[in-house]
Structure 1
Amino acid sequence: MTRRSAISDGIQPFRIEISQADVDHLHHRLADARWPDELPGVEWARGIPPAYLRELAEYWRTQYDWRAQEARLNQYPQFTTEIDGQRIHFLHVRSDQPDAKPLLITHGYPSSVAEFLHLIEPLVNPVEGQAFHVVAPSLPGYAFSTPLGGTGWAMGRTARAWAELMRRLGYERYGVHGGDVGAGVSGMVADLDGEHVIGVHVVTDPLTAASTATFLPGMADRLNENDPVDKLILDRMDAFTREGSGYLAIQNSRPQTIGYGLVDSPLLQLAWIAEKFHEWTDLPIGRDQLLTTVSLYWFTGCGATAAHTLYEQAHSSDWGAPPAVPQGFAVFGADDTVRRLVPAPADAHWTEFRHGRHFPAIEAPAELAADLQAFFAPLK
């Protein structure tokens, strides 16, 4: 079953231990923040409103308990290792069930392994059904997979690192899952390491599918504006280009410049992520969950390095090939548009959920866990 001993590959235990000086510094910076004026009647039309952000920042400063969230993360075994010159941080949570299957899960942007805090337990210790040994790495340049060791960390290089990580952990056969950037990485792992991957499962939603379509050459020309479903896709693509893509355009072109603000200003880092959580969800997400992700970006200074990896992918020609292993898709907030945009094979596992969107591991972890069980349970 195993391919090689993990001990010989330099895997080290890891605990999150943010110094009290860093926590105090965050509180000080929030207390002394400079605020822009609020234009009347603008609301969310031009970005995150100051009144909304003031309340969230004050909660972050005075009520949010980082130590409690740090302890929640530290309840799961964590490790670091160096692969291809890059420090990789990951959670590795093994199940006690004898038929558990290894599952590599990858977060997206703007997210972190904290996205999986509500998903790990139902996967590792399910009440019934398939159990998993969960491996959840932090993407290169994110959270504790920092500092970024150099340029070139697009999805293909990350996928090769993930295949090496699973080899080091000794897993001969394993499944992969992800969303957003994690979906792309997971698909490339399945393509690159198909000898060992039993199946790939990804999540998407109508907005993510439409925004991704804006980057596909000739996609708009293949859609018919007289068809109501195609018209909805075209409208969403246009809305993303005009109003929703600014954050990505900046990071895809000037990651170093925006990085100064993301690393130096807790307000900017908070606004940068909180805006996306507001726009890309339709089920409630608690403030503590949101602020745990923001805190991981702030304490590790990874806002800049995450931006660099987005730049790398935007300038990469390596998008992989369709994997030859079984494929599964879970669509959250589903409508008729996703079927037309996602190139799923005819025999793919396909499940649609009415609610949830970009962060289903946070918004609907029970539904996502059940779909992962349903997809991977029959695979040998």
Structure 2
Amino acid sequence: MLEDLMTTRRTFMASAAAAGAAGVLPAMLRAEAGGTAIRPFKVAIPRAEVDGMKRRIADTRWADAQPAPDDGQGVRRQTIEPLLRYWGGAYDWRKIEARLNALPMFITEIDGLDIHFIHVRSRHDHALPMILTHGWPGSVLEFLKVIGPLTDPTAHGGKAEDAFHLVIPSIPGFGFSARPTTIGWGSDRTARAWATLMRRLGYAKYVSQGGDCGSVISQRMALQKVPGLLAIHLNMPAVVPADIARTLAAGDPAPATLTPKERGAFDQLAAFYRDNAGYAIEMNTRPQTIGYALVDSPVALAAWMYEKIAQWVYANGDPLRVLTRDEILDDISLYWLTRTGASAARIYWEDHSNNFNARGVIDLPVAVSVFPGEIFRAPRSWAERAYTDLFYFNEARGGGHFAAWEQPAIFADEVRAAFRSIR
């Protein structure tokens, strides 16, 4: 552990020197200087903000416990109240703040917006640069457990030739990136911003990885053929063919021509749209309306996020089987303390699209890892229709929608294997 921290410290100092840094700027959400400079960043949430969060939790006016015997009406009070009482009591935000501040973090302005990112360079020669993009209701915290395995594989059971330089940005409107004040910051614009970021960091050739919103952004980068992008890796591919998408939208039965794996994916999607897509409809159409609750009430924010975390991890409905209480609350706290509940929801409105459906044929090299607990398990046949250069496809042995967060070792193995032929 000490060795990892010292390596991180040395990497941070080297990166800061390369960026021409004069020192760390003590800002809560952004560094003070502007322009295209790359400025070091530290998290420093004022104590009053943390105390205010806990005070609001203590003052919660709880909804009645639902009469339904299961979670068919939403998150059960019996489930979430103990978690949130811990949040308002013994939970310590400063632990994750210190963990973040041990990493080299930066802010840079792109297209008029401050973008926050973690940048960890490998000590291994010939490491492959990679940009990792999170989704909703996730954040850069999803990737903390894979930074070591991917940048320093020899210390984590891998080989030096599998090393990566990592860039892990916060999507605009999420975490410590600025909240857009004008419309237009959807996945297309973010994809262009990521290309600018990688170029600004000096990476002429690189790869991109993402799930959820990160999958969409990675695919938009590929569709735009942004300069320097060699290939992408997805753990939530958008591969549903147009004819299948229309059938699902109409609520019609599955076509008889589907293969068993295609039929399994169809049934998963049909169940998702029937039972669990209400949040997406709200954020696609009225993110501002739900946003008032997400920014004003920590319990509303927690319930909105926890429901999807619990449903999407591969843990039979109990996320505490694969994530700790603190890990879940760190992510929720990040949204609360940066006041990004509404701004993060707006990316759904900006894209106003279904993240599962194929959007044009991608001919850049694409790798796909299908995790067993994903919202739907994409069949290879659909992936081959959406991606003309599908150079890697594998069904992982464990993990769900938040693959890197849930199963960092499996995720790291998948990314290493996927990009091995690209180096």
TM-score (norm 1): 0.90
Shift of the 52–213 alpha-carbon distance from structure 1 to 2, 3 Å rule, reads farther
Task: Give the counterpart of 1:191 among 208, 223, 226.
Answer: 223
Give 1:88 shift.
0.7
Structure 1 residues 242-291: Cα deviation after superposition (integer angstroms, max 9, x where no partner): 21111011111111111100000000111111111110011411111111
SS at match of 2:368: strand
SS at match of 2:150: helix
Task: Give the counterpart of 1:291 among 329, 335, 354.
Answer: 329
SS at match of 1:199: strand
Task: Give the counterpart of 1:255 among 287, 300, 319.
Answer: 287
The gaps in structure 1 that reach 5 residues or longer are none
Equivalent residue letter for 1:375: A
Higher relative contact order (CA 8 A, sep 6+): 1
Contact 1:281–1:358 (CA under 8 A) maintained in structure 2? yes
State the partner residue of 1:325: 364
Shift of the 308–53 alpha-carbon distance from structure 1 to 2, 3 Å rule, reads same
Whether 1:80 aligns to 2:107 is yes
Q: What percentage of residue pairs aligned between the two structures are identical?
A: 40
Shift of the 298–324 alpha-carbon distance from structure 1 to 2, 3 Å rule, reads same
Contact 1:178–1:203 (CA under 8 A) maintained in structure 2? yes
State the partner residue of 1:132: 164
State the partner residue of 1:32: 59
Whether 1:363 aligns to 2:406 is yes
Shift of the 185–44 alpha-carbon distance from structure 1 to 2, 3 Å rule, reads same
Alpha-carbon distance in structure 1 between the residues aligned to 2:277 and 2:243 = 10
Task: Give the counterpart of 1:352 among 395, 401, 406.
Answer: 395
Matching of residues 219-234 of structure 1 within 5 Å? 223-225=254-256, 227=258, 228-234=260-266
Shift of the 87–346 alpha-carbon distance from structure 1 to 2, 3 Å rule, reads closer
Equivalent residue letter for 2:63: P
What is the number of equivalent residue pairs in this alignment?
372
Alpha-carbon distance in structure 1 between the residues aligned to 2:92 and 2:330 = 9
State the partner residue of 2:15: none
SS at match of 1:349: strand
Alpha-carbon distance in structure 2 between the residues aligned to 1:104 and 1:327 = 15
Structure 1 residues 304-335: Cα deviation after superposition (integer angstroms, max 9, x where no partner): 0011111110069xx86444332111110079
The gaps in structure 2 that reach 5 residues or longer are 1-17, 21-34, 316-321
Greater mean deviation of Cα atoms: 71-80 or 330-339: 330-339
Structure 1 residues 330-358: Cα deviation after superposition (integer angstroms, max 9, x where no partner): 11007975334433446420111132110
State the partner residue of 1:68: 95
RMSD: 2.7
Greater mean deviation of Cα atoms: 370-379 or 356-365: 370-379
Equivalent residue letter for 2:380: R
Contact 1:115–1:361 (CA under 8 A) maintained in structure 2? yes
Contact 1:187–1:322 (CA under 8 A) maintained in structure 2? no
Shift of the 315–330 alpha-carbon distance from structure 1 to 2, 3 Å rule, reads closer
Whether 1:277 aligns to 2:340 is no
Matching of residues 95-174 of structure 1 within 5 Å? 95-127=122-154, 128-129=158-159, 130-174=162-206
Contact 1:225–1:234 (CA under 8 A) maintained in structure 2? no
Shift of the 373–144 alpha-carbon distance from structure 1 to 2, 3 Å rule, reads same
Equivalent residue letter for 2:325: R
State the partner residue of 1:308: 346
Contact 1:163–1:193 (CA under 8 A) maintained in structure 2? no
Shift of the 346–175 alpha-carbon distance from structure 1 to 2, 3 Å rule, reads closer
Greater mean deviation of Cα atoms: 184-193 or 284-293: 184-193
